[in-house]
Amino acid sequence: MKSVLSFLFTILGILSATAQNYPSRSNVLWVTEPDHSNWLYELGEEAKVTVSLYEFGMPVANAKVHYTVGPEMLDPDTAGFIDIKNGKGTVSLGTSNEPGFRDCWLTVTLHGQTYKHHVKVGFEPEKLQPYTNFPDDFEAFWSQAKREAAQTPMEVEKVFVPEYSSNKVNCYLVKLQAYQKGQQVYGYLTVPKKTGKFPVVFAPPGAGIKPMNPLKHIFYAESDVIRFDMEIHGIRPDLDGTTYKEISKAFGNGNNSYLVNGLDDRDSYYMKKVCLSCVRALDFLTTLPAWDGKNLIAQGGSQGGALALITAGLDDRVTACAANHPALSDMAGYKAGRAGGYPHLFKNFDGMDTPEKLKTLEYYDVVNFAKLIDVPVFMTWGYNDNTCPPTTSYIVYNSLDTEKEAYITPINEHWVSEKTRRVILDWIKSTLK
């Protein structure tokens, strides 16, 4: 396993009544320092964390901090108090006899205001394996689905978007017919303005139903890489935020979520259209006159990381894949008594634990697509992520049987830094043929 370990031991802040490790505008700062510099321990080994607490930049002289500790995403098995003296205290996270992570939640009240923080450590996570089964007909199912979807004509509408264009980049809003006639997806295509042939990056979206803005990754096109940021619902990405909120309320939350729509059957599940629309996006991107004809990279984060890996497993036109903390990964892992992947169907939804739903999930779980990937893969994730927990990122990484590289930033929750975004692009460029 080739790993690039980037440990960010910067003083962290916490906003009142939140548990974000990198907040802003807080008077209180936490630093949690595991006694192993890589945040990893052997099975049966005790993990200890030094807790430092600051207010207005100065160590808190005396405070009582409440803590709970347990397996990540599950109920705590230990609770108690530690005394902070001159800004410091120590808490034991115990140990684990099974590969995985333990999470410690810290709470303190200062001047009537409550502040929270959490930190995770891992126990031999390189040994984690998926709970999710690989169906005997997995490849046959998807081969047939791709053949059927390919019968739908590819109709393309492309409109120049001046507000996202510049003297270096042309931006277009693209509408693609995909999956079945009359169904479409949209996306922003950003292309270097200079003459030449360029690699293409296909970038599916994170979870939710929300507007899109290509400026976040405009540096790809500024760096001579064509990029296509796609939405998956067939809703124009340039609608106003209020309209998107109304749409999201209709089929984006709870048991109305698109992520559980049709889950009783593998052919009616909403995500079938999504996966096949990703293949249709590649159909379009490989027709671009400015494509170099060689390099087609799938890249995304969270749900987008999942769909990047899924697309790399589905389509051998993909030449490399970069995924941040992928969602939809070993989703049934809760059945094994440990954290499962986003959207945490067995934790946050009602009525999910049925044989029919479990069977459908096998055909859409990232761990099974990962087993089909034979191109270079770059993955990055953080340990403090409770949206896409590190257990499931490790399981995906451990399932890959191809050239792979991990860039692990332990302190991260469900975000990546601007530095990491640039590291991803640098890796993509390193794979170009």
Supply the pLDDT for residue 23.
56
Among candidate residues 103, 229, 365, 385, the one labeled active-site is 385
380: Cα separation from own chain's centroid: 9
Listed residues 95, 127, 159: the one ending a domain? 127
Q: Is the pLDDT of residue 15 over 80?
A: no
Decide if 302 is catalytic.
Answer: yes
Q: Are residues 150 and 186 both part of a single domain? A: yes
Decide if 414 is catalytic.
Answer: yes
Angstrom distance (rounded) from CA 416 to CA 104: 22
Domain of 95 in residue numbering reads as 9-127
pLDDT per residue over 70-120, tens digit each? 999 999 999 999 999 999 999 999 999 999 999 999 999 999 999 999 999
Terminal alpha carbon distance of the chain: 23
Listed residues 92, 127, 162: the one ending a domain? 127
Q: Are strands 156-160 and 169-177 parallel, antiparallel or unpaired?
A: antiparallel
* CA dist 36 → 43, 88, 404, 407, 421 (Å): 14, 17, 25, 18, 27
Angstrom distance (rounded) from CA 252 to CA 426: 34
Q: In the chain, what percentage of residues exceed pLDDT 70?
A: 94
Supply the pLDDT for residue 6.
39
Q: Count of domains in the chain?
A: 2
CATH of the domain at 43: 2.60.40.2550
Among candidate residues 217, 233, 325, 414, the one labeled active-site is 414
Please answer whether residues 392 and 336 qualify as being in contact, where contact means their C-beta atoms are separated by less than 8 angstroms: no
Supply the pLDDT for residue 26.
85
Residue given tokens 């761990």 in the structure block = 367
- Inter-axis angle of helices 303-314 and 270-285, nearest 10: 70
Angstrom distance (rounded) from CA 400 to CA 268: 28
Among candidate residues 96, 165, 302, 399, the one labeled active-site is 302
Q: Are residues 40 and 186 both part of a single domain? A: no
Q: Is the pLDDT of residue 143 over 60?
A: yes
Q: Are residues 120 and 144 both part of a single domain? A: no
Residue type present at position 304 = G
Decide if 217 is catalytic.
Answer: no
Q: Are residues 221 and 363 both part of a single domain? A: yes
Instruction: Give the pLDDT band of residue 250 (cuts 50, 70, 90).
Output: confident
DSSP state of 207: S
**Helices (H), ranges, 252-373:** 270-285, 303-314, 345-348, 355-362, 366-370
Listed residues 127, 154, 182: the one ending a domain? 127
Q: Are residues 166 and 276 both part of a single domain? A: yes
Residue 227: burial class (beta carbons within 10 Å; 0-12, 13-18, 19+) = buried
CATH of the domain at 343: 3.40.50.1820
Mean pLDDT of 150-167: 97
Q: Are residues 249 and 104 both part of a single domain? A: no
How many helices, marked H, and strands, marked E, lie in the chain? 10, 20
Residue type present at position 255 = N
Q: How many CB atoms lie within 10 A of CB 405?
A: 17
Task: State both tokens at 269.
Answer: 């599940």
Please answer whether residues 365 and 329 qualify as being in contact, where contact means their C-beta atoms are separated by less than 8 angstroms: yes
